[in-house]
Each structure stands twice: as structure tokens, then as C-alpha cells.
């Protein structure tokens, strides 16, 4: 069996924890003011009860010209260390509005190179196909 290079300490402590990542079938668009920050037909839905589902958008579908990376970092024992970006068109409301796990734990590699947005800081519209 292959050895896992970057295992999640959360799953090691709590092997019954369930986090699922599945494709979102449809289009996800993120806006701030009148600016489209991201639009994708390749988003993923992360479900982690009891929390609300989170839509992760591939980096390739995010307009990083409208974002600025911040110093904020948080840690999740299941996913890893999250980096944050402010959404510039949202001004103060957009501070640290997007996060991503750039080097997630092995169990969560499906969300690498994907960003998620806080729905109270930007407008997220998910339209099923």
C-alpha cells in the first residue's frame, strides 16, 4: 500500500468524519457589485455536515486580477491551511472573501487549485443544468 505523504490529522483522530466532494452540475457565477469575479461549469460541491455546502471553483475560472491575496491563514484539521484573498470590487465587504487550500491534506486533494467564496461577502449564483 502506498504511504500517504500529507495525511489529515483530523481524519486520523476522527475516522468516522465524512466530507464529500462532488461535481456541481450547472454553472456557478460569483459577482461583486457589477463585476463577475468567477464563472464556472466545473465547480465542485463540498459537503461537511453540519455545515452548509460550499461551492469550490477552479482557479482557471476565477479572475485573480480582481483579487488580492491577504495575510490571513486558517487551519482545518481535515482540509489543511487556507489562504485568503480580498475581492477588490466589493471594497471593505470583500475583505478575505475567498479562501483556498493550496496544499490540502491528501484526503482533500480534490479541492486543490479551487477557491470558495463567503456568500455574505459576494453574490453567488448556482444554476443547475
Q: Which domains does the chain have, with CATH numbers?
A: 17-128 (2.170.150.40)
Q: Grid coordinates standing for 122?
A: 459576494
What is the structure's pLDDT at 5? 83
Q: Minimal CA–CA distance to 110: which of 56, 49, 29?
A: 56
Q: What is the pTM of this model?
A: 0.94
What is the structure's pLDDT at 3? 54
Low-confidence ranges of the chain (pLDDT < 70): 1-4
What is the structure's pLDDT at 1? 44
For 94-98, the CB contacts below 8 A with 24+ separation are: 94/32, 94/121, 94/122, 95/70, 95/121, 96/70, 96/72, 96/121, 97/32, 97/121, 97/122, 98/37, 98/62, 98/67, 98/122
Amino acid at each position: 500500500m502506498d504511504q500517504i505523504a500529507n495525511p489529515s490529522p483530523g481524519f486520523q483522530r476522527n475516522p468516522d468524519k465524512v466530507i464529500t466532494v462532488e461535481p456541481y452540475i450547472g454553472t456557478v457565477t460569483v459577482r461583486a457589485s457589477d463585476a463577475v469575479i468567477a464563472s464556472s461549469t466545473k465547480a465542485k460541491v463540498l459537503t461537511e455536515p453540519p455545515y452548509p455546502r460550499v461551492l469550490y471553483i477552479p482557479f482557471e475560472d476565477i479572475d485573480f486580477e480582481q483579487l488580492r491575496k491577504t495575510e490571513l491563514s486558517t487551519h482545518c484539521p481535515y482540509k489543511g491551511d487556507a489562504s485568503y484573498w480580498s475581492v477588490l470590487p466589493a471594497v471593505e465587504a470583500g475583505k478575505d472573501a475567498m479562501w483556498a487550500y493550496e496544499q490540502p491534506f491528501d484526503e482533500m486533494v480534490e479541492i486543490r487549485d479551487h477557491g470558495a467564496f463567503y456568500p455574505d461577502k459576494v453574490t453567488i449564483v448556482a444554476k443547475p443544468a
